[in-house]
Chain A
Amino acid sequence: MKKIIGALALAVGAGAAYGQTTPQDLGQIHGNFQTDIQYYLPDSAIPGVIVPNEKILMNGFANLIYTKGPFSAGIRYESYLNALQGFDKRYQGNGIPYRFATYTRGDLEVTVGNYYEQFGNGLIFRSYEERGLGLDNAMDGVRLKYKPFRGVYLKGVYGKQRLFFAQGPGIMRGGDAEIQLNELIGGEYNPDAFRVTIGGSVLSKFEPDLDPVYVFPENVTAGAGRISVSKGNFTIQGEYAQKINDPSALNRFIYKNGQALLIGANYSQKGFGFNASAKMVDNMDFRSDRAASGNVSTLNFLPPIAKQHTYLLTAFYPYATQNLGEMGAQAEVFYKFKKGSVLGGKYGTEIALNFSKIHGLDSVRTSSYEGYRAKFGAFGKQLYFQDINVEVTKKFSKHFKSVFTFANIKYNMEVIQGLGGKGTLNTWLGVADLTYYINDKYSIRTELHNMTVEGNHDRGSWAAALVEFSVAPKWFISVIDQYNYGNLDKTLRLHYLLGQLTFVKDANRFALSYGRQREGILCVGGVCRQVPGIYGLTLSITSSF
C-alpha cells in the first residue's frame, strides 16, 4: 500500500515539475455531471404509488477524464442515496465503480480497468451503459486493440463484469477480428466502390459450477461471423452467432445450444431511403451470471427490430427482444416529395413508412435435455408484436411545421411483460405534433395524442396533450396531460398532469418538474431522456465541461 502511495506521489510530483517548465503540455481534464433528485408525494388515486421512507431519493454521478496526448485515464463517481424509484435497490451508497487508464502506441491501444466494448452487432458480446435505465455492464480487466496491417482490426478483451458496486461471478475472455478487404488490398479509400468487410468473434465465459444438483458447463463459448457488402448507397449485411449449451435460470436450465441471425439491407438516394431487416433468436440469452435476470449481467445485445417510438403514447407499449426465442422482420421506406410538387408544396413533404412483425419460433417441445427444437428461419404461430406506422412531416409556412403519426400496434402482454392470461392488445394511435415559430426566439410546440386500446384493454384507452413554450436558447416551459379515459375501472380514469421548467445555459441544464410522470422516454426540455414513473417533484441537473 505504502509503495503505491509512494509511486503515485512520485508520479504526481514529476508531473507537476514537468508541468512547470512546459505548462501547455499538462494535458486536459474534462468531464460531466448529472444528478436527479426526487421528492415523492402520496397519491391516493393511483394504486401502487408508494412514498419511500426517505421521502426524497437521489441518483448522481460525475465523470472525470484526464487526457494528455496518447494517454487518458478517468473515473466515474456514483452516488445513490438511496436509488430513485424504478432503479434496482442494489445501487446503494457511494463509490467509484468505474476507472480506467488507456494509451495508444502506434497501432496498439491498451486499456486497463473499466471499458465498454462490442463485437459486431453485439450478438455475442456488448458491454454498454444506459444510465437512465440503471443499466451498466461495464467490463473490468484488460483490452487490447491492434491494427497489424492496413484494413485489419483486432480486439481482445479479458475481464469481469460490473454488478452494481461489485462484480459478477463470470470471467470473460474474447476476441474480434475485422477485415476491410478493400483497404487490405490497397489503394485509395473510396466509399462508393464495391466494398466487402468480413468479421468474426469469439467470447468465452467461465463461471464456477457450485450447484449441488445440476452439472453446468463452467466454460461457455459463443462465436459469431459477419459480412457486409456495399456498393454506392446500397448495403447488405448479415451476422450469425452460436453459443454452446448454457443452462440458466431464465431458460429453465435446458442444455440446448443457442443461435441468432441478423440480416439487413438498405438503399438510399437523395429523397428516398429503404431499410429492411430480419432476425432469428433461438435460446440466446447470455449472461455472466446464470442466475441473473432483467437487465443485470447481460453479455450480449440482440437489437429489437421494431421502430423506436419516442412520443408519449406511441412509446407506451414498447417492444423488447425475447432473448429466449423469436423470429421477426422489419421494413421501412423514407420518401420526400419534392418542393413544388403537388404533395410537396412549398417546402417538400417527408413520409416514413415502417412495418415490423415479430413472432415466436416455430418450435416443438421435446422431452430431451434440449427442451425444444425450432425450425430455422421459420415464423411460429404466436404473434409477439406488430407495428404498422406512418409518419408525415410537413412544413406549411415559415412559421408552422407539423409531424403526423399514425400507428397500429399489436402487443402480446403475456409474452413481452410475462403476465400470464393477459393476452394481446390491439392499439390504434394518432399523434399530431405541431410547432408554431413565433419568431427566431419564441416558439410553441403542441402534441395531441389518442390511443384506442382493444383486446384485453389493460388500462384501456388514453388521450394526451403536450404544450411546450420555448425561448431560445435558454428556457422551456412544458405541460403534459395524459388522460386514461378508457380505463374499465371508472375510479382510475385519471389525468396524469406533469409540468416542467427547463433552463439551459451552454452545456449546463436544469430541469424542475412536478406532477405524475409515467415511465418511459420523455422528450421535453429540448432533449430525450429515459425516466422512471413517479408522483412528486423532480430536479435534474446535467453539466459538461
Chain B
Amino acid sequence: MKRTIALLSLLCSTFFALSGYAQDNGSKRKIPASKIKDLKGAEINTETLSNNGKPMVISFWATWCKPCVNELSAIAETYEDWQAETGVKIVAVSIDDARNVAKVGPMINTKGWEYQVLTDQNGDFKRVMNVNTVPHTFLIDGEGNIVWQHNAYAPGDEKELYEKIKKLSKGESIQ
C-alpha cells in the first residue's frame, strides 16, 4: 500500500516534470513561496522578493562557510559599481541555525556588506530552491524568473556572474 502510493506519487511527479519540459519556457521558473525572516525577525514571503524589473542575485551562505564569505566579500568590493551600472540587488540568505544566527548582523555590519540580508533558520527557502551545499547562487531576471544558478565558489566566479548580470540588464539572453 505504502509502496503503491509512493510509486504513484513518483509517476505523477514524472508526469508533471515531462509536461513542464514540453513547454518551450520549461527551464524558467519564478521564486517559489516560503517564509523567512529579516534580521529583526519580521517575516518575509520569498515570492515577493523583487528588484523593480532589474536583475537580482540570491546567494545562500552561512557565517561558518569560508567560500561563501569569500564570494560575498569579493562582490562587496565592486558592488557599488555593479549597482550603478546595472541596478542589480544582492540578497544574501543565511542558512545559519540557532547556533550562529545571532552573529549574522554583527558580521555583515563589520564587513560593511550593503546587501539585503535574510535568515532561513528552518531551511524552508533552501529546500524549495533545492540547495544542496553552500554557497549556491541564483540569478533572477527583471521578470522574477530564475535564469541561472551556480554552486560553489572559486575566486573570479564573481566576474562570470557580473557578465551575466550585465547581459540581463541590457535585456539580452544569458543562455
Central interface residue in A8, A31, A473, by most chain B CB within 10 Å = A473
Contact B131 A191 (CB under 8 A): no
B20 close to chain A: CB less than 8 A: yes
- Tell whether A528 pairs with B66 under 8 Å between CB atoms, given A26-B19, A121-B98, A195-B40: yes
B65 close to chain A: CB less than 8 A: yes
- Tell whether A266 pairs with B32 under 8 Å between CB atoms, given A153-B43, A471-B154: no
Q: Return chain B residues, CB-CB under 8 Å to A504.
A: 150-152, 154
Contact A473 B106 (CB under 8 A): no
In the complex, chain A residues 88-123 whose Cβ is within 8 Å of any chain B Cβ: 95-96, 99, 104, 116-118, 121-122
Q: Return chain A residues, CB-CB under 8 Å to B1.
A: 1
A271 close to chain B: CB less than 8 A: yes
Task: Count contacts on B: residues with CB < 8 A to the other chain.
Answer: 75
In the complex, chain A residues 377-431 whose Cβ is within 8 Å of any chain B Cβ: 403
- State which of A62-70, A210-218, A291-299 sits at the interface with chain B: A62-70
Set A267, A308, A545: member contacting B130, Cβ < 8 A: A545
Contact B103 A266 (CB under 8 A): yes
B87 close to chain A: CB less than 8 A: no
- Tell whether A506 pairs with B152 under 8 Å between CB atoms, given A473-B160, A528-B67: no
A75 close to chain B: CB less than 8 A: yes
Q: Return chain B residues, CB-CB under 8 Å to A267.
A: 106
Q: What is the interface of chain A mostly: helix, strand, loop, or mixed?
A: strand
Central interface residue in B63, B70, B123, B154, by most chain A CB within 10 Å = B154
A527 close to chain B: CB less than 8 A: yes
Contact A301 B130 (CB under 8 A): no
CB distance from A406 to the nearest CB of B (A): 17
Contact B41 A197 (CB under 8 A): yes
Q: Return chain A residues, CB-CB under 8 Å to B102.
A: 235, 237, 264, 266, 275, 277
Contact B130 A30 (CB under 8 A): yes
Set A4, A30, A445: member contacting B29, Cβ < 8 A: A30
Contact A4 B67 (CB under 8 A): no
Contact B128 A65 (CB under 8 A): yes
Contact with A along B71-108 (1 / 0, CB 8 A): 00000000000000000000000000111101101110
The residue in chain A whose Cβ has the minimal distance to the Cβ of B5 is A4
A544 close to chain B: CB less than 8 A: yes
Contact A440 B106 (CB under 8 A): no
Set B6, B100, B124: member contacting A96, Cβ < 8 A: B6
The number of chain A residues touching the other chain, given as a range, is: 35 or more
Task: Tally the A-B contacts, defined by beta carbons under 8 Å.
Answer: 259
Contact with B along A168-204 (1 / 0, CB 8 A): 0000000000001001000001010001010000000
- Tell whether A310 pairs with B66 under 8 Å between CB atoms, given A26-B20, A32-B132: yes
In the complex, chain A residues 264-282 whose Cβ is within 8 Å of any chain B Cβ: 264, 266-275, 277
Q: Return chain A residues, CB-CB under 8 Å to B17.
A: 29, 64
Contact with A along B114-128 (1 / 0, CB 8 A): 000000011110011
Q: Return chain B residues, CB-CB under 8 Å to A528.
A: 62, 64-68, 133-134
Contact B149 A301 (CB under 8 A): no
B53 close to chain A: CB less than 8 A: no
Set B106, B112, B123, B150: member contacting A266, Cβ < 8 A: B106
CB distance from B38 to the nearest CB of A (A): 7
CB distance from A205 to the nearest CB of B (A): 20
In whole angstroms, how far apart are the Cα atoms of A509 and B4 in the complex? 33
The residue in chain B whose Cβ has the minimal distance to the Cβ of A199 is B41
A472 close to chain B: CB less than 8 A: yes
B10 close to chain A: CB less than 8 A: yes
CB distance from B150 to the nearest CB of A (A): 6
In whole angstroms, how far apart are the Cα atoms of A512 and B121 in the complex? 31
In whole angstroms, how far apart are the Cα atoms of A75 and B13 in the complex? 8
What are 12 sample pairs from A and B whose C-beta atoms fall under 8 A apart?
A11-B12, A24-B25, A29-B13, A128-B97, A128-B122, A235-B102, A275-B103, A308-B63, A336-B111, A470-B155, A525-B152, A542-B151
* 19 new A-B contacts at CB < 8 Å, known A272-B110, A507-B151: A1-B4, A26-B16, A65-B32, A96-B10, A104-B33, A116-B122, A116-B123, A126-B98, A128-B122, A268-B105, A273-B109, A277-B102, A308-B64, A335-B110, A439-B156, A472-B160, A473-B154, A526-B135, A528-B133
